[in-house]
């Protein structure tokens, strides 16, 4: 039996490879940080991690995790409602709610699960989901699992959203669903305008703050802070895997009854293991650090401004950004791959993206800034871009 299937898979895999879309893993042998060491011993400055605040190797988080290993052991060996809930899990849930100005929080093994388990317990065939076309794969999958009628609107396009909301008046409840930061361009969802339309057309609002929590807004409270809308959306989802320490875990935070219903009916919560206590403990520490000081956000915002300004001045075509994502537009797919590879030769680790990850003829290199980068790191990256950019006649 396997033989036919094997031939089929081999064919499909070579098609992926021929299209230049085959994904290879690069093996890192150091902690995640502004500088990483690859298996071959090569040192690179890392500009493609979601380690926006540099917390992935933060000594205080490591200490909190080690301490929890001693007091609470390694694993929970259970889902939450059987015997997988420790005081550390509850503490983190409360802290996340406080951070976002919401009423309650439910933890998941990942934000992919938070989004996967969000829609089906809340909405039925009588209801509507109105979703931004550029929303994350986990939102798309989560929406697929529920029976609500689906409407889609062009990325951050409020006219289109309004049209879809008018059509969705036929349904009982309406939920507008959006990423906070769209990860390929770095633009943010205009949540103030979305909330106005939600009020006008009687809809609920959900925002996924995975790329924005810790990053966007003066104190890193995310897109709702940036637009002065803290506490106004009904549902926020997010990850512990990006700015929030970079380990693992996701959450949904928002209105009390919504979170309560998720605890009763959300399948990834009911049928999947709890995050390890050490991750919960480090997560709590991470929120403490962010509540005490704004140093990391200030540094990140300063780094992002410095980098994008210098790159623009050097003549690069930079997508307008309101996050720590800086898309250097090249348009040509092949060029994006050549440029990324030449940058790696210069000691800079970045990734080139092209169709189908971004629209056709919109190839780019996505640079992700971090509070862990110092001025010398940024200058080295800019210098490498300028050198390679001139060589390839991009600037």
Ligand X SMILES: *Cc1c(COP(=O)(O)O)cnc(C)c1O
User: For the chain, percent helix, then strand, then coil, each to nearest 5?
Assistant: 45, 15, 40
Q: Does 178 bind ligand X (CB under 6 A)?
A: no
- Residues 136, 211, 299, 301: which is the catalytic one? 211
Please identify, among the stretches 106-114, 199-207, 276-284, 320-328, the one whose residues bind ligand X according to the rule CB under 6 A: 106-114
Token code pair at residue 147 = 């029976």
Candidates 111, 118, 275, 363; binder of ligand X (CB under 6 A) is 111
What the block records as the tokens of 96 is: 């996340």
* Range in contact with ligand X (rule: CB under 6 A) among 40-48, 73-81, 107-115, 333-341: 107-115
CB 183 within 8 A of CB 364: no
Which one, 111 or 129, has the nearer CB to ligand X? Answer: 111
- The answer to whether 328 touches 312, Cβ cutoff 8 Å, is no
Q: Candidates 33-41, 64-72, 111-119, 356-364: pick the segment binding ligand X (CB under 6 A).
A: 111-119
Angle, helices 191-200/158-167, rounded to nearest 10 degrees: 20
Torsion of CA 214, 275, 252, 159, to 10 degrees: 70
Among 179, 185, 234, 377, which residue interacts with ligand X (rule: CB under 6 A)? 179
Judged by CB under 6 A, the number of residues near ligand X is 14
**Residue 77 structure tokens:** 């060996």
Nearer to ligand X, 1 or 137 (CB): 137
Confirm whether 43 is a catalytic residue. Answer: no
Residue 243 in contact with residue 181, Cβ under 8 Å? no
Q: Are 211 and 242 in contact (CB under 8 A)?
A: yes
Window 201 to 220, contacts with ligand X (CB under 6 A): 208, 210-211
Stretch that binds ligand X, among 110-118, 161-169, 296-304, 357-365 (CB under 6 A): 110-118
CB of 108 to ligand X, least distance (A): 8
Rg (CA), the chain: 22
**Quick one: which of 241, 246, 268, 389 contacts ligand X (CB under 6 A)?**
241
Residue ranges in 44-103 that form contacts with ligand X under rule CB under 6 A: none
Query: Strands 204-208 and 174-179, how do they pair?
Result: parallel
Select from 110, 168, 229, 287 the one that contacts ligand X (CB under 6 A): 110
Among 34, 86, 131, 183, the active-site one is 183
- What is the distance between the alpha carbons of residues 394 and 201, in angstroms, rounded to a whole number? 46
Dihedral angle at the C-alpha atoms of 136, 23, 58, 325, nearest 10 degrees? -50
**Residue 242 is a catalytic residue:** yes
Given candidates 47, 112, 251, 353, which one binds ligand X under the rule CB under 6 A? 112
Nearer to ligand X (CB atom), residue 52 or residue 112: 112
To the query of whether residue 42 is one of the catalytic residues in this protein, the response is no
CB 168 within 8 A of CB 130: yes
Which are the catalytic amino acids? 183, 211, 242
* Residues at the site binding ligand X, with contacts judged by CB under 6 A: 110-112, 115, 136, 138, 179, 183, 208, 210-211, 239, 241, 250
């Amino acid at each position: 039996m396997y033989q036919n299937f094997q031939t089929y898979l081999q064919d499909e895999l070579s098609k992926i490879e021929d299209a230049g879309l085959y994904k290879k893993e690069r093996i890192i042998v150091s902690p995640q940080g502004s500088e990483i060491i690859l298996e071959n011993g090569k040192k690179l400055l890392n500009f493609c991690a979601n380690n926006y605040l540099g917390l992935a190797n933060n000594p205080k988080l490591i200490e909190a995790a080690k301490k929890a290993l001693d007091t609470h052991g390694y694993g929970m060996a259970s889902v939450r409602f059987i015997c997988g809930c420790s005081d550390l899990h509850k503490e983190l849930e409360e802290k996340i709610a406080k951070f976002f100005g919401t009423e309650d929080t439910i933890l998941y093994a990942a934000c992919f699960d938070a989004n996967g388990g969000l829609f089906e317990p809340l909405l039925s065939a009588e209801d509507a989901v109105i979703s931004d076309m550029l929303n994350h794969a986990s939102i798309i999958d989560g929406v697929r699992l529920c029976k609500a009628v689906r409407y889609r609107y062009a990325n951050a396009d409020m006219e289109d959203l309004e049209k879809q909301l008018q059509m969705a008046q036929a349904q009982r409840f309406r939920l507008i669903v959006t990423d906070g930061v769209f990860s390929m361009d770095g633009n943010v969802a205009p949540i103030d305008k979305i909330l106005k339309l939600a009020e006008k057309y009687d809809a609920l609002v959900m925002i996924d703050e995975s790329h924005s929590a810790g990053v966007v807004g003066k104190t890193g409270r995310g897109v709702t802070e940036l637009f002065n809308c803290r506490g106004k959306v009904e549902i926020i989802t997010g990850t512990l895997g990006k700015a929030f320490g970079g380990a693992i875990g996701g959450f949904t935070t928002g209105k009390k009854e919504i979170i309560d219903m998720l605890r009763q009916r959300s399948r990834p919560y009911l049928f999947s293991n709890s995050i390890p206590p050490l991750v919960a403990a480090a997560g709590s520490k991470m929120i403490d650090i962010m509540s005490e000081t704004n140093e990391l956000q200030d540094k990140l915002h300063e780094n992002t401004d410095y980098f994008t300004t210098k790159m623009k001045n050097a003549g690069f075509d930079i997508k307008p950004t309101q996050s720590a994502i800086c898309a250097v537009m090249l348009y040509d797919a092949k060029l994006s791959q050549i440029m990324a590879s030449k940058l790696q030769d210069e000691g800079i680790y970045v990734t080139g993206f092209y169709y189908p990850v971004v629209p056709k003829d919109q190839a780019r290199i996505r640079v992700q800034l971090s509070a862990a980068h110092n001025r010398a790191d940024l200058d080295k990256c800019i210098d490498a871009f300028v050198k390679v950019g001139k060589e390839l006649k991009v600037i």
